[in-house]
Amino acid sequence: MRMHRPLLALTAAGAALTSVLAAPAHSAAVPTGGVFYVQSAVTGLNAADSGGAVVQRNPKGNEDRQQWTLRSSGASSVLESTDTAGSCLGRSGGQARTVACTSGDAPWEITATGTDQYRLKVPGAEQYLTVAAKPSGSNYPAQLALGTAGNLASWYLTPTTSPTSPMPSPDRRTLDQVTFLTSHNAYANGVDGGFAPPFINLVPNQSRGINQQLTDGVRGFMLDIHQTSDGAILCHNSCTLVSRPVALWVDIQRMVDYLRANPNEFVTVFLEDYVDPGVLRSELARVNGLSDVLYRPDQTGVRTNGWPKMSDLIAANDRLLIFTDHSRSADQSAGLTRDSFGVMYQREWTVENYWSMGSGLGSSDWSCYSRWYDANSNVPLTATAPPFRPLFVMNHFRDAAIASTATTDNTKLTDRAQRFCQPAARKKPNFLAVDRYDLGNPAAAVSTLNGYTY
């Protein structure tokens, strides 16, 4: 289950990724019209009208008063709320407020910074729309304000209707252009073995074993591993009282065997990782043929050249990518880093939205915001360091995998991906992670997303 790993301090690479948000992507002309999210380049959150105050909110599609119609006239522009005619994003008393669009406090001078980002300047004054400075030990304040032209004054004007292009041909598409069906808690399936104390076994996240998942087209696997005297074991929360426990190496062997038999396929593993690095290294050493297919983006120039073409990965037999959510700094203290034996630190290579849409029953939260945004960390979904773009892991599941709820949620996967999460990340999801992938046809959403690039 993705919820249990505590949020840790940013790794050096993760911090570096965040710090280069202003690195040149491409120079963009200032748009003169359209409907946009005004999205902080620092936090990835959207400017929203909250009873007259303009505050940062988790991206939520066309809900929560976050969409603004841009209209330009000469050197100035206004941003009118799509929810309240005549009400514009403006300022009052040093804070961002909604004001009448005819007010002198409504216009902004919008200038491109040459990075696909913009600054919103008060005409005639050196004041800019900004995120308030972050107090020590807390999140950035919700209330937006006026401030100087620093990093906190950098904004994306993200179109509410995503700009797309046709998907390149199979021999040209790169890894970060492809979307993969991903099973959340893939091991918790009630087929391959036990995974939890008996009462949790009653609500498995999946209903088919790993081999069947591979056959059915699942290409991303979320696995929880815990340390026991037997090594790295697949189980939920604790391995106590688990009958017929399955070792990690057993499932990885299944994947390697599948890749050996299917030379044009690519698989990714996400480890929620509670084991010592030496234990994980020993566990993976048991997998026959792992080194033949293990993909090492850290050794192939991805950060300087961007993600490779899928056809090149297939030709090189680089077809199994393994991530861990463990902390690099903790491993450095232990004297052995996981990437030394081919397991990549996920925060250095991906972005990921918060894992839960709510309980298994009742209301849901479809907002899409970073799992790694709190008082101790800040990796927005929009994080990028061109030409490298992190892969986007989109979680789409609940606290508990109730079959009827999962069926409904999975039928809405395309809508949430395109209307909520794609604009929130300014990229389409690469991994659509769901419970009960056999219900509600989430494979159709994968097919839709694989028809275009953002």
Confidence band for 27, pLDDT divided at 50, 70 and 90: low
CB count in 10 Å sphere of residue 394? 28
Give the burial class of 162: count Cβ atoms within 10 A of its Cβ; 0-12 exposed, 13-18 middle, 19 or more buried. Answer: middle
Confidence band for 238, pLDDT divided at 50, 70 and 90: confident
Quick one: which of 116, 96, 107, 98 has its CA closest to 73?
Answer: 107
Q: What is the DSSP string of 399-431?
A: SS--HHHHHHHHHTHHHHIIIIIHHHHTS--SE
Q: Which of 195-199, 246-250, 338-342 has the lowest mean pLDDT?
A: 195-199
Confidence band for 37, pLDDT divided at 50, 70 and 90: very high
Confidence band for 20, pLDDT divided at 50, 70 and 90: very low
Confidence band for 61, pLDDT divided at 50, 70 and 90: very high
| Residue 56 main-chain phi, psi, to 5 deg | -80, 135
Domains and CATH numbers, the chain: 34-159 (2.80.10.50), 167-453 (3.20.20.190)
Confidence band for 29, pLDDT divided at 50, 70 and 90: confident
Contact 51, 33 (CB under 8 A): no
pLDDT at residue 13 greater than cutoff 50: no
Return the residue matching tokens 């050196």. 126
Quick one: which of 181, 180, 201 has its CA closest to 191?
Answer: 201
Quick one: which of 171, 236, 258, 238 has its CA closest to 399?
Answer: 236
Give residues with Cβ within 8 angstroms of 27, minimum separation 6. Answer: 112, 114, 115, 116
pLDDT at residue 17 greater than cutoff 70: no
Give residues with Cβ within 8 angstroms of 113, minimum separation 6. Answer: 22, 119, 154
Beta strands in 23-154 (DSSP E): 33-40, 46-50, 53-57, 68-73, 76-81, 87-92, 95-100, 109-112, 118-121, 128-131, 144-147
Mean pLDDT of the 285-304 span: 97
Give the burial class of 309: count Cβ atoms within 10 A of its Cβ; 0-12 exposed, 13-18 middle, 19 or more buried. Answer: middle
Cis bond before residue 387 (omega within 30° of 0): yes
Angle value at C-alpha 441, between 438 and 443, nearest 5 degrees: 95
- Which pLDDT tens digit goes with each residue over 91-131? 999 999 999 999 999 999 999 997 899 999 999 999 999 99
Confidence band for 201, pLDDT divided at 50, 70 and 90: confident
- Which pLDDT tens digit goes with each residue over 133-171? 999 889 999 999 999 999 999 999 999 999 999 999 999
What pLDDT, on the 0 to 100 scale, is given for residue 114? 78
pLDDT at residue 4 greater than cutoff 50: no
Mean pLDDT of the 225-249 span: 93
pLDDT at residue 19 greater than cutoff 50: no
Q: Which of 193-207, 247-261, 275-289, 345-359 has the lowest mean pLDDT?
A: 193-207
> What pTM, to 2 d.p., does this model score?
0.94
Angle value at C-alpha 409, between 405 and 415, nearest 5 degrees: 165
